[in-house]
Amino acid sequence: MVVFLSGELGAGKTTLARGILRGLGHTGRIKSPSFTLVEVYKLSRLYLYHFDFYRFNNPMELEDAGFREIFDGEAVCLVEWPEKAGAALPAADLKISIRAAGTGRRVEVIAATEAGKACLRHIPR
């Protein structure tokens, strides 16, 4: 499962990722991966990778860093700044865009695959 989180700096991407992790039962610390590029969480049998490609300059680094194998595996991948990783990233199942709306946020969710659509059906609206 690949989930893109888009929106400008401060839009709330990391905050949403934290909410997803909390919702999945993670009770420990949740660091922003803005310096480390990736943080990994093991939630029961599920591996969740939280990426932030803001500081990524060369999309070729994606291969070099061995991230490709993570995306091709069974894990859930939340990706901040997917546009910085370029064409090296696989297609998203869900594309989430966030923007400020008053003191809150407006979120648009697009399901791009069957897996994404199945996921969207579980989001209360």
Ligand X SMILES: Nc1ncnc2c1ncn2[C@@H]1O[C@H](COP(=O)(O)OP(=O)(O)O)[C@@H](O)[C@H]1O
- 84 lies in the site for Mg ion, by CB under 5 A: no
Q: Does 7 bind ligand X (CB under 6 A)?
A: yes
Single out the residue of 75, 105, 112, 119 in contact with ligand X (rule: CB under 6 A). 105
Contact region with Mg ion (CB under 5 A), list: 7-15, 36-44, 65-73, 114-122? 7-15
Query: Could you say which of ligand X, Mg ion, none residue 6 binds, taking C-beta under 5 to 8 angstroms by partner kind?
Result: none
- What part of residues 51-90 is at the interface with ligand X (CB under 6 A)? 80
Q: Which residue is listed with tokens 């990233």?
A: 89
Q: Does 15 bind ligand X (CB under 6 A)?
A: yes
Q: Which residues of the shown chain bind ligand X in the complex (CB under 6 A)?
A: 7, 9-15, 80, 104-105
